[in-house]
A and B are shown apart, each in its own frame.
Chain A
Amino acid sequence: MSAIFKREFGSYFSSPVGYAVLAAYMFFSGIFFYVQCLFLGSSSMTMVFQQMFFIVLFVIPLITMRTFSEEKRQKTEQALLTAPVGVPSIVGAKFLSSLAMFALCLCSYLIEGIALSFMTQPDWSVIIGNVFAMAILGSSFIAMGLFISSLTESAIVAAIVSFVLNVLISIMDTISGTVSWDVLTGITNAISFQKKYNNFSLGLISLSDVVFFVSVTFIFLFLTDRVIERRRWA
């Protein structure tokens, strides 16, 4: 499992993808930070985290798009599946390496926090809490991205579908707000990622929201495992 993790993580940096993702993330995070904290003079980074939500939607598909689709296209999948390694370990290793890549992006907040500490006293508990919230939100999106990637041979298709899915699931409550049907609004509010995430970024970390994101992660990792197992029977 550690062998797959290392190869996978290394592959982000043997192609432009890893650098591009990192650069894009840091760029937007830096801009929002500049506008909110330096230009408008706020000492709280809460707004930065809320605005970064949409960047996460778009960056994570880039991190996960190649995980399974590329293995299938290059036929390297055959080496993985005929090695003495179970499918759950393969899925787990790929999940962890994507998460590690995303964690690297999250380092930008620490840099910004340090920058802020030269001017004012930043609230580190808010920053740490937000980074944690973003990591847990990210792991749900990563699990979804892995699942989409396992369904196709094309990285581009995987990226686009994941992106659309991420956006849909995040703004679901906004869309359903226009419909006056209580059941639907109830459901969409229950699964809306953005609502839960915004609670996090305000410092309201509730156990039920954490459980929600962790469950979503495990459900999609499990589905990914099923897809790969099932394909052998196709």
Chain B
Amino acid sequence: MKFSRNWLADYVPGLTADGAELGRQITMRTAECEGVEDHAPQLKDVCVARVESVEPIAGSPNVKAVVETGRYGRKTLVCGAPNCRAGLLTAYWPLGVKKIAGVGSEGMLCAGDELGINRDHNLIVELTDVAVGDPLPGLVPDAVIDIDNKSLTHRPDLWGHFGMAREVAATFGLELKDPTDISLLPSGEPQVNVQIEDFTLCPRFSAVVFENVKVAPSPLWFQYRLQAVGLNPINNIVDITNYVMAELPQPMHAFDADKVPGQTLIARAAKANERLEALNGETYDLDPSMIVVGGLDGPLAIAGIIGGDPSAIGDSTTRIIFEAANWNPVAVRKATVKLKLRTDASMRFEKSLDPENTLRGIARAIALMKLVCPEARLAGGVADVRGPAVAPAPIRISMPWMAKKLGRTIGQNEVVSILEALGFGVTSANGELEVTVPSWRATKDISMDADLVEEVGRIIGYASITPTAPRMDVVPPKINRERAFHNGLRRHLTHVGFTEVHNYSFVADAEARKFGFDPADHLRVLNPIAEDQALLRISLLPKIWKNIDDNRKHFDQFRLFEIGREIHKRPEGLPDEVPHLVAVVYAKDDGVAGLNQLKRLALDLLPEASFRAVAGVRSFEHPARTVAVMAGDTSVGRLFEFHPSFVEVGRAAVLELNLRTMEKLATGRTVAYTAVNKFPSSSFDLAVVVDARALAGDVAQHMPGAVFIEDYRLPDGRRSLLYRLTISRPDRTLTGEEVTAERTRLIEHLRAQGFELRA
């Protein structure tokens, strides 16, 4: 939303702050200013000039003109405008001498766009009733303050200059001048018939008729004001509606009264299959969720959004109906989404405008008509239909409460004067203030005491509040064990050489399928950014694989890990979000070292881990290099090498762990200390001979406490697994016979399990 500094100053006559200062103050007190720009600064140099003579330039469409500027003397210049003629009073801008079409041009005569008045570029401006050498009447350099629309979301009143002027007046402690003279409203029988079918769709509808209207361009000063805030001047009638919109803010619409059958306007829901050709040339299909201003024969305008072409103001229009209505913000917003059409009016109606403004809008339009269409006459009284109005309940606040919320003391007088400057009614009773919310803040912005803390706080300035530590109980916070556990894992992994990655939660259907996951098992995003980001991951592996594939282009070897959530659908309620750890070792070698490192890692993170053969491997797993990671009979994850068809160059070993299971296992894990034995222990070794593809893990589970020493390949292809057993007693030294007996017992046990022992 753009604000003109000069326009604001109309309502705050004492204002001396320039645009930049206004921008700063508005940012600190009201809403975020995104920038301040000078508008038409050249106007301080531009003056009225009379064209004295014009002569053609051979071979050029331009003419050579001699002009009397008064202020700068007589000048010769080159002008390309077809309306440049002797005797014309126009605008002269003293620029340096510039050669155009072989002629030295001493400055220029200006078109509307060159002065920030409108978008006219072909014709130089034509002035009347002005003296040569004078500044252009009503046109002074302006500053445009651009306020972030998002920061005005909750402030319908700030979508117009008068509302912002109220803020400025309160901020600077200046008087606010209301432009609206409600006594201008004519009484008597209205010459327009207004009906509202549903007050929730249209809480209020006001209208008035003018006759003897002459549609023409607005005066330049009027156009200039609209242009400064980005509203393009069109003609005097449309410009009035835009002016009132940018002022109060009350969007209005002007109908050609002769094109409104029966002079009847009906606020109603659109009917199915109704269509309207709008002012922008597009035709819109309407449906019953939208509101229209209907005539006797069908819709005339899409309420709050855009007018219809058939009843539009044209050059031949002589009678008009000014409409100022209040529309349901939600219905307007939904219609803009459906129609893909957002307008200056709809942006305002979406914010819940003040229904009291419809009559004020009509009164302003009447006043402005006198300025820009003086010939026009009011016809009949004002039509004004409204639903039942509910006065907002007053809000009670006490000074101690206000001080408690602000964190500083504040006098009652100061609070009262701030609230009154912002338009609140304040009465004092029983040590409390009873605050009445003005209509323009009551539509949804302010309804409770907390809202008033903001009103007071922002005007006194938050800088006046000294940061203070709160009084609070000293209580150690509850520890988030899951997070502490994950952070511990992260520390360990980085210490042993792994770098943490963060991957997106989205995967593509194709990615899921590539890994053998069914896309239907994934939670689907209904409005994905792109089709390849439509599923929520049920495994970290697809993206981890991508990490491998990306990084191997830059590194011969690397280690990385991610801790992230798998998202699993559930029949009802929110999905199950299961934290997982995936660690990867990539190298261009035979892959053994990487698997070994991850095996080491698994045991570091889960000391009771064992590795077990898996029943079936997944498509991306190396069929001869995949095991389950177990804690007893609980599966915790997998250790595998990526299948060569997934990682073609080099080897990638992967450790995948379910951290929810891991955390359960780690919870309550303590150190079970036993006294160091004072009596010496005895050791003996056992060599178990197994087939080439037997699993050492299967052997070890029959010898609890055995320490693996060596895996030795025998000449016949079988393997000899060497274990060392150490035995002791807490109360005595074992005798040689006892050690032998234990060894014999173990050997027999192993033989009974079908193992062969080497001598």
Whether chain B is bound by chain A comes out as no
Interface residues of A (CB under 8 A from B): none
Interface residues of B (CB under 8 A from A): none
